[in-house]
Structure 1
């Protein structure tokens, strides 16, 4: 009998001990409930989101925990609580975070963490900032971070790229949701094929990052984080602009999101249609801005099996037509010069995330694919051989594991390891029999591991290594490169942080986007070929930064100074080889060492949620140790198309919830640009003037009902028309002689209708 009583007593004791207790409450901001706020237990990923009334509730066993309350646009709250055998009611009041001091980023360590705790400096442009500068595509939204500069490189096709710290686009790794699916052709035109209404934030890490993200990250990484389905909403917007008061640029976008009541599943749709007329700046009947039509559609969805297992599926497709040259409405076969490209892109990915029962381990498996098909014409003087087809196919698959150690030599440590395989096939076929077809298959197998160790409360060490095995059908031997990375974060005080680091990167000898793009120079087509003894590039990057972050009540101030030094061994350069077999040739060879050094500065200030100003600038040198010949007739050691000084500015004033005013600025300093003979008598290296592009826009929001609003907006881009004024003319022009702002003065008006803003 006594044994039975003892057993029953023990069973009740253990049942009571393991019984979970409810934590509940409401999250508000200025006495208004805030929906879809994350409320969870630190280091356990256990929690929930607030409902449409700002209320939350979840169960947890007895103990002492740290609750974290986090939402985009608000300061993060951490509060220690002790759970006993009675339910707890804990309410939270959020404060706005205009400067994003508590933003969560993934680009520093490939795992989500607060930006302040990242050992690598990550700068962020969020969806709200993209809206403030009225950016339609990724290309327009990348200029508002220090060290970044976008440029257009061709008047005929509109080829564009992004430079980080002066290095051209091929040195930057563009990621979509941390996956390297940005194919070679997308490196040419893709910046204008990603609409900003699908972007949640753009995370930029300057300096080599190949130890964790793979090759081609010598200058840095740009990680495009797409919008997650968080709350039910619907938005449709339309905007029309007049380029130089004469050519239209019309854009229509939509967003629609559906989330289940239990928040376990959701899907968000987005789309964009753009129709831009071609623009001729100097009345010679040849375009400076291409004619463009783009239709983009996609979705992102998730399904939570439970709080520890999540499946994410995304899909995107784009159809684009662009045309440059003359006689845009006629067949290329009757023109003097025509570049006509019709591209179809289809891509998507699947990711499965799994947490262990104690939430100290996370497993992720993923697979992504992107296929680009481009029917194109590059030709002059009614050339029937100008037609061709270019294809780009990319697959990425990998497994990643993160383990958290809460007591590692009296500190905390995250160990992230993974395996990733990337396959890329580029094919190009042209009607011109002089142009040799290209078929390039590359396989890259990457194995990486990284340790993020919180040594002390104010000291963090990040170290990692990635080994990559590269094979290509165009090379006889495989290539294996080991890339190390180390970074240190030292919080000198609660407001001053010091970061420093070193990383090694590489680029394999292969064709890239600029190589498969046919150039039309002064009426002639010319191609790029690879040198027989072309070797891989190897880079060494050193970076250091000081950041001062201060906030008191509504007042916020961030000052950042970042120095960088990168040397590239055996850099790829292009030298003109004259005419070979009736075709103008440029050969990709290894040049002498290249060096890029300088510093970025940024200041962001918000005295209250109504006002925000940010200023950013870059001061740098970029050169080769010895001279080379980028064009026949030019010998230089300069890295061309790179100014020594450039910067940006953004000022926002929102006096109330209805009005919003924005002033933006982009400064491009003097730089050297090759100017090929044709319209001019001989090839020269031109020094361009400095240009300052200023824009202004304003919007007013009207409440249509309890759930829907209408916004009317308008403004002027490039108010003072700081635009290149020395374009070449006629068929003999050099269409690559283009620099400065992408468009002249442009007036626009727009409407936005829906919920969620």
Structure 2
């Protein structure tokens, strides 16, 4: 991971998390796999619904774009609950590219892109990975592959089922971390019809259920309690103290999200000659959500159609052109039984359509200097379709240029510079903290412009025989940044900031190969947010972080360990102000620094069978240890669940096996 930023064949700085590292970390899903990567922060933004946000270069989670085999298959809604359900079984590697314009196909990636690359079968076989954790948590991952005798057809089937238990660390009857159960199926077929034609078909299905809130309950009991008595309790906690026993009705703290996600893509690559090839990609995904938020039900279907025709043409030894056209057509429709009962309810359904053309010239200026110049021209149209929202909110044409430069100072030192513009349409209330919880009268919109960004990054890499290191610096500013407020009547209002928001980020990663058996690594990160950006955050981001790692391989034994330190923060800078007891006992706005440690030990019994044991957060630190439950009363006396600044899950152990044939 720490050496990957020095890839000499990449113009833009790219971190790569490969299959071996994914297994070493016992990463069950995407967020676990990349959480220790430099410049990546996985933010837990709700103790009840467990929503996870992937932040790149200090940007917010909605500024990161997830690609599957280079195709942007994820809808806007899929970036909130579905990211924690993306399985790692069958994944060859995960590529993280930071900075606006990190992908020709994803100009909305203001923070950067995460490209999940499927494993290409090399032979017929089967792999099974099983583990058990404490408290009924588990992982079962299976991958079967079939390769034809002539090797023209390569197919695979992946099934992963995993579960993470509900946790109540302070025993007040309300969970700090929800139950989460995910099931994934992925079928992939790659066939070479001719020596110059390859077609890849991929179909995937994800079923994810999250339940947070009352302990020893389920969604059936919670909904029954709401049907039987929908009136709010006079008191939710003993003595009105969120640290004491929950005495309300189950529905009053229940947050339940059931997600079903289906996707399909076809990619046809044709080689016209040794200097010209073209790829046609067609993709579709459907994200369906059924949810219950403390008495407010919300269901939505978000459907995406995507088309891309890309051409690569080698002009001469110095220039290669990449050019093409793509389109994104997304339609989201939502409904609420509770909301529809109100005469004033306004839904948040929208249509979002983008057509774009792009051109890139990759120029080998000399043996030492390589330059990539790219530009996209897009027409973006966003329309909230409720009758109460007449007109089209956004209808703009955007030019998004990007420049990447790589310079080889010598055989060991490499510099990379990237400058680019990006844009995105802020359309979802899930982008902001609990924008959906107060939506009894619907959703108010004050959006009429695209968010637009300018990003610049610099990376200096050193690659020696034993020592490797990369220093990265980044600066990003965003205009028209989305923000959540409320109307005079208390309805959630999605609006935009008038001032420019900016963040500067810096990190350095070092890897040292001590000998043939032991590799050590370290990374240090720092982020500097301006006041405008701080105001936009619902959950305080990390400002300083350090990661240490050790990877030891000797004979049949493998030992991996990582330790992560997060620096202290002043939560008041991010608007934290609340009470433990109704109208008294203010919560602390000081977040102290803390360490977490993960370890895994693997023993290869035979070439086909491995046994392993490990643990996560072995320091057993959670913010509940500081007597700071994420539950709180705000200054107006309302109850909420997102006073979060540290880990909410403590020490967890697991034991497992991996078997291949």
TM-score interval, normalised by the smaller of the two chains: 0.7 to 0.9
- Asked if residue 650 in structure 1 is aligned to residue 556 in structure 2, the reply is no
- Asked if residue 448 in structure 1 is aligned to residue 373 in structure 2, the reply is no
Q: Of 498, 501, 505, which aligns to 1:598?
A: 505
Query: Mean alpha-carbon deviation: is it higher for 472-481 or for 497-506?
Result: 472-481
Deviation at 1:216, TM superposition (A): 2.2
Q: Of 69, 89, 102, which aligns to 1:177?
A: 69
Q: Give the distance between the partners of 1:587 and 1:316, measured in 2 at CA.
A: 32
Deviation at 1:677, TM superposition (A): 3.8
Determine the structure 2 residue equivalent to 1:264.
152
Q: Of 271, 287, 294, which aligns to 1:355?
A: 271
* Cα distance change of structure 1 residues 360 and 188 upon mapping to structure 2, 3 Å threshold: same
Show CA shifts across 1:329-360 (max 9, x none): 35223213211122211111000001123x21
Q: Give the distance between the partners of 2:37 and 2:164, measured in 1 at CA.
A: 27
Confirm or deny: 8 A CA contact 1:573 1:591 kept in the other structure: no
* Cα distance change of structure 1 residues 210 and 610 upon mapping to structure 2, 3 Å threshold: closer
Matches within 5 A, 1:77-96: none
Q: Of 119, 132, 140, which aligns to 1:240?
A: 132
SS at match of 2:302: strand
Deviation at 1:476, TM superposition (A): 5.0
- Asked if residue 541 in structure 1 is aligned to residue 443 in structure 2, the reply is no
Determine the structure 2 residue equivalent to 1:51.
none
Q: Give the distance between the partners of 1:115 and 1:279, measured in 2 at CA.
A: 41
* Cα distance change of structure 1 residues 236 and 569 upon mapping to structure 2, 3 Å threshold: same
- Asked if residue 415 in structure 1 is aligned to residue 331 in structure 2, the reply is no
Q: Give the distance between the partners of 1:132 and 1:183, measured in 2 at CA.
A: 30
Deviation at 1:684, TM superposition (A): 7.4
Confirm or deny: 8 A CA contact 2:451 2:479 kept in the other structure: yes
Confirm or deny: 8 A CA contact 1:211 1:505 kept in the other structure: no
Determine the structure 2 residue equivalent to 1:60.
none
Determine the structure 1 residue equivalent to 2:244.
none
Determine the structure 1 residue equivalent to 2:656.
750
- Asked if residue 328 in structure 1 is aligned to residue 217 in structure 2, the reply is yes
SS at match of 2:32: helix
Matches within 5 A, 1:157-196: 157-196=49-88
* Cα distance change of structure 1 residues 274 and 495 upon mapping to structure 2, 3 Å threshold: same
Determine the structure 2 residue equivalent to 1:573.
483
Determine the structure 2 residue equivalent to 1:279.
167
- Asked if residue 224 in structure 1 is aligned to residue 139 in structure 2, the reply is no
- Asked if residue 469 in structure 1 is aligned to residue 371 in structure 2, the reply is no
Show CA shifts across 1:539-562 (max 9, x none): 1111111101123xxxx4211011
* Cα distance change of structure 1 residues 527 and 171 upon mapping to structure 2, 3 Å threshold: farther
Deviation at 1:324, TM superposition (A): 0.9
Q: Give the distance between the partners of 2:440 and 2:577, measured in 1 at CA.
A: 13
Deviation at 1:277, TM superposition (A): 2.4
Q: Give the distance between the partners of 2:410 and 2:275, measured in 1 at CA.
A: 29
Deviation at 1:618, TM superposition (A): 1.1
- Asked if residue 689 in structure 1 is aligned to residue 592 in structure 2, the reply is yes
Q: Give the distance between the partners of 1:172 and 1:685, measured in 2 at CA.
A: 31
Deviation at 1:198, TM superposition (A): 2.4
Confirm or deny: 8 A CA contact 1:428 1:516 kept in the other structure: no
Deviation at 1:530, TM superposition (A): 2.3
Q: Give the distance between the partners of 1:477 and 1:746, measured in 2 at CA.
A: 47
Deviation at 1:675, TM superposition (A): 4.0
Deviation at 1:118, TM superposition (A): 1.8
Confirm or deny: 8 A CA contact 1:373 1:389 kept in the other structure: yes
Deviation at 1:323, TM superposition (A): 0.9
Q: Give the distance between the partners of 1:297 and 1:495, measured in 2 at CA.
A: 43
Matches within 5 A, 1:503-518: 503-511=420-428, 513-514=430-431, 518=435
Matches within 5 A, 1:572-651: 572-577=482-487, 580=489, 583-624=490-531, 641-651=540-550
* Cα distance change of structure 1 residues 320 and 515 upon mapping to structure 2, 3 Å threshold: same
Q: Of 125, 128, 132, which aligns to 2:24?
A: 132
Q: Give the distance between the partners of 2:11 and 2:441, measured in 1 at CA.
A: 45
Q: Of 702, 715, 720, which aligns to 2:614?
A: 715
* Cα distance change of structure 1 residues 186 and 341 upon mapping to structure 2, 3 Å threshold: same
Confirm or deny: 8 A CA contact 1:99 1:606 kept in the other structure: no
Deviation at 1:729, TM superposition (A): 5.0
Deviation at 1:378, TM superposition (A): 1.3
Q: Give the distance between the partners of 2:174 and 2:306, measured in 1 at CA.
A: 40
Deviation at 1:509, TM superposition (A): 4.3
* Cα distance change of structure 1 residues 619 and 476 upon mapping to structure 2, 3 Å threshold: closer
Show CA shifts across 1:676-719 (max 9, x none): 6464437878232222110111011112xxxx622111111111
Matches within 5 A, 1:294-305: 294-305=182-193
Q: Give the distance between the partners of 1:328 and 1:648, measured in 2 at CA.
A: 37
- Asked if residue 345 in structure 1 is aligned to residue 261 in structure 2, the reply is yes
Deviation at 1:722, TM superposition (A): 1.9
Q: Give the distance between the partners of 2:140 and 2:76, measured in 1 at CA.
A: 27
Determine the structure 2 residue equivalent to 1:150.
42
Q: Give the distance between the partners of 2:332 and 2:110, measured in 1 at CA.
A: 22
Q: Of 539, 554, 558, which aligns to 2:468?
A: 558
SS at match of 1:736: coil
Q: Give the distance between the partners of 2:69 and 2:614, measured in 1 at CA.
A: 32
Q: Give the distance between the partners of 1:241 and 1:652, measured in 2 at CA.
A: 23
Deviation at 1:577, TM superposition (A): 4.1
* Cα distance change of structure 1 residues 478 and 252 upon mapping to structure 2, 3 Å threshold: same
Show CA shifts across 1:490-526 (max 9, x none): 10101111111211111224336426965448xx979
Determine the structure 2 residue equivalent to 1:666.
564
More relative contact order, 1 or 2 (CA 8 Å, 6+ apart): 2
- Asked if residue 253 in structure 1 is aligned to residue 170 in structure 2, the reply is no
Determine the structure 2 residue equivalent to 1:727.
629
SS at match of 2:89: helix
Give the greater-gyration-radius structure (CA).
1
Query: Mean alpha-carbon deviation: is it higher for 617-626 or for 660-669?
Result: 617-626
Determine the structure 2 residue equivalent to 1:22.
none
Determine the structure 2 residue equivalent to 1:377.
292
Determine the structure 1 residue equivalent to 2:645.
739
Determine the structure 2 residue equivalent to 1:390.
300
Query: Which ranges of structure 2 fall in alignment gaps of 5 or more residues?
Result: 226-249, 385-391
Show CA shifts across 1:50-97 (max 9, x none): xxxxxxxxxxxxxxxxxxxxxxxxxxxxxxxxxxxxxxxxxxxxxxxx
Q: Give the distance between the partners of 2:632 and 2:86, measured in 1 at CA.
A: 32
Deviation at 1:584, TM superposition (A): 4.6
Determine the structure 2 residue equivalent to 1:85.
none
* Cα distance change of structure 1 residues 260 and 742 upon mapping to structure 2, 3 Å threshold: farther
Determine the structure 1 residue equivalent to 2:404.
487
Q: Give the distance between the partners of 1:459 and 1:540, measured in 2 at CA.
A: 24
Q: Give the distance between the partners of 2:505 and 2:631, measured in 1 at CA.
A: 37
Show CA shifts across 1:249-308 (max 9, x none): 111111111111221101111111123321111111111111122211111110012231
Confirm or deny: 8 A CA contact 1:280 1:288 kept in the other structure: yes
Deviation at 1:420, TM superposition (A): 0.8
Confirm or deny: 8 A CA contact 1:238 1:251 kept in the other structure: yes
Deviation at 1:115, TM superposition (A): 3.3
Determine the structure 1 residue equivalent to 2:202.
314
